[in-house]
Amino acid sequence: MIRSDGPLLRMRDVCIDVPGKAGSVRLVDGFSLDIAPAERVALVGESGSGKSITARAIMRLAPQTVTSGSIEFDGLDLGSLPERAMTRLRGRRIGMVFQDPMRALNPLMTIGDQLTESLRDEGVGKSEAVRRAVAILEEIGVPNAAQRLRAYPHEFSGGMRQRVAIAIALIGEPDLLIADEPTTALDVRVQRQVLQLLDRIARDRSLAVLLITHDLGLVANFVDRVAVMYAGRKVEDRRCWELFEQPAHPYTQALLATVLRLDRPVTRPKTIPGAPPHPAGRPNGCAFHPRCELAAPECSRQVPSLRRLAKGGEVACDVVGRI
């Protein structure tokens, strides 16, 4: 049950540091994000953008600690929550699905034991736990659910394994599902099935979803809002269709222009020069300025702060605002 009125998830100025060879390295720098109950948000970025670390920090799974800032879930401050309470929150209120289901599942435990583990820990009786496990497998489209409880992960195909992983994440009936590249390891056709499944389940259960992905094409018809990360910072946060129609940040614009699309004539894709920076070598000022077509002298001097746009959403660029 959701208790508070405000956003379900509220992240404020979150910074995450890791120790590096030459002092600590800031992986995530001043990240803020709100997710309302039943809202779906995508966190989009390239490797090293800090998107996965951010997601793990919510679950307190990151080996890196949140250096400053706050993460609240349904009014609870996750930073100060005792470990026992955090354990109860994971799985029960916040479910998580990872990219590679083979690694996320325990190869030595049956699917049934993995599904019922969290319920049994809470004192749910065995037959009730099994009944719920069968119900969720059926809901998620695993055929012969009752017999399949005794199977091991290796007996499932990649797509079925990911369905099982989703079932495990949902069996505690969480309010928020964090899905980190849930379809990246899957083939296109299976990818679509899993995404459609997530879409249906999120709708049926009024589930809030934080989808972490590098694939802009994937998010288009799945989420309400998109937050774009670059080099550990949020650079744009918009309603999904507005982002695709009129991206504001030069990075988002460039990223959308490089995507090859089957629904457009064959043309040479635009490229973004250079490569995303390593967190330890993040350029001064706006981290994107060395690769940006619109870069002005002041871009290298100060980090642009997120500004509200008149049509809604936020963008962190001092140049596009003037155009």
Partner 1 sequence: MSLLEVRNVNKSYGGRGRSSGIPVLRDVSFALEAGESLGLVGESGSGKTTLIKIVVGLERPDSGDVLYEGVERSSASRSTRRGFSKDVQLVFQDPVSSLNPRMTVRQLVEEGLVIHGLAGDRSGRTERVAEVLSLVGLDPDQMERLPSSFSGGQCQRIAIARALAVSPRVLVCDEAVSALDVSIQAQILNLLADMREQLGISLFFVAHDLAVVRYLCPRVMVMSRGTIVEEGPREQIFGDPQHEYTRALLEAVPVPTPVRR
* Piece in contact with partner 1 (CB under 8 A), picked from 20-28, 60-68, 71-79, 184-192: 184-192
- For residue 311, the minimal CB distance to partner 1 (Å) is 13
Residue 192 in tokens = 């679509």
Query: What H or E segment, with its residue span, contains residue 147?
Result: helix 145-148
Rg of the Cα trace of the chain? 21
Task: Give 150-153 contacts, CB < 8 A, sequence gap 24+.
Answer: 150/110, 150/111, 150/112, 151/110, 151/111, 152/107, 152/108, 152/109, 152/110, 152/111, 153/101, 153/102, 153/105, 153/106, 153/107, 153/111
Q: What is the DSSP letter of 217?
A: H
Residue in 12, 41, 53 with CA at minimum distance from that of residue 177: 41
Chosen residue from 241, 284, 293, 321 binding partner 1 by CB under 8 A: 241
Q: Residue 254, interface with partner 1 (CB under 8 A)?
A: yes
State which of residues 1, 22, 108, 262 lies at the interface with partner 1 (CB under 8 A).
262
Q: How far is the CB of 108 from partner 1 (least distance, A)?
A: 25
In the set 269, 284, 301, 302, which binds partner 1 (CB under 8 A)? 269
109-168: contacts with partner 1 (CB under 8 A): 158
84 binds partner 1 (CB under 8 A): no
Q: Quick check: 287 binds partner 1 (CB under 8 A)?
A: no
22 near partner 1 (CB under 8 A): no
According to the binding rule CB under 8 A, does residue 275 interact with partner 1? yes
CA distance 173 to 205: 8
CA distance 287 to 256: 18
Q: How many residues bind partner 1 (CB under 8 A)?
A: 38
Under the binding rule (CB under 8 A), the answer on residue 187 touching partner 1 is: yes
| Closest to partner 1 by CB, 74 or 237 | 237
The minimum distance between CB 227 and partner 1, in angstroms, equals 15
Q: Which stretch binds partner 1 (CB under 8 A): 62-70, 75-83, 108-116, 249-257?
A: 249-257
CB-CB neighbours of 85 under 10 Å:
11
Q: Which of residues 290-309 bind partner 1 (CB under 8 A)?
A: none
Q: Which is nearer to partner 1, 69 or 232 (CB)?
A: 232
| Amino acid sitting at position 157 | S
> Is residue 321 within the footprint of partner 1 (CB under 8 A)?
no
CB nearer partner 1, residue 130 or residue 194: 194
Cα dist from 281 to 15, 27, 278, 285, whole Å: 16, 11, 5, 12
Closest CA to 54 of 85, 84, 16: 16
Residues at the site binding partner 1, with contacts judged by CB under 8 A: 46-47, 158, 187-189, 191-192, 195, 214-218, 220-221, 224, 240-241, 244, 254-256, 258-263, 266, 268-273, 275-276
